[in-house]
Amino acid sequence: MELSPEEYGAYWGGSIRIAAGVLVAVFGYQFTSPLLSHPEFGATALGVFLLAGLVLAGTFVSVLGLARVIRTAVDAEMRR
């Protein structure tokens, strides 16, 4: 697969988005783990809500990056 400079940049941009999405999800868990282990219901509920939001945001960013990588690869293969 031969990539033009624009496609190469789009490929790496997509790869960075995938990594950023994974980092948001992982750091979201690290950020909310004290709340999830707290004995009070309110703190635990807040932790679950924050964790769900951060995992959703991380997944969204990762899927956007994956779509960009796939679109770049398909465009490069269709040029042949």
Residue 5: per-residue pLDDT: 79
Q: Which of 56, 49, 48, 67 is nearest to 24 (CA)?
A: 56
For tokens 């770049």, name the residue: 72
Residue 46: per-residue pLDDT: 95
What is the domain count for the chain? 1
Residue 33 CA neighbour count, 13 Å, CB half: 7
3-state secondary structure of 80: coil
Q: Is the dihedral of CA 44, 53, 55, 34 positive or negative?
A: negative
Separation CA 7–CA 44 (nearest Å)? 45
Residue 1: per-residue pLDDT: 65
Q: What is the pLDDT along the chain (80 residues), one digit of tens a residue?
A: 677 778 888 889 999 999 999 999 999 999 999 999 999 999 999 999 999 999 999 999 999 999 999 998 898 888 77
Q: Which range marks the domain in which residue 15 is found?
A: 5-79
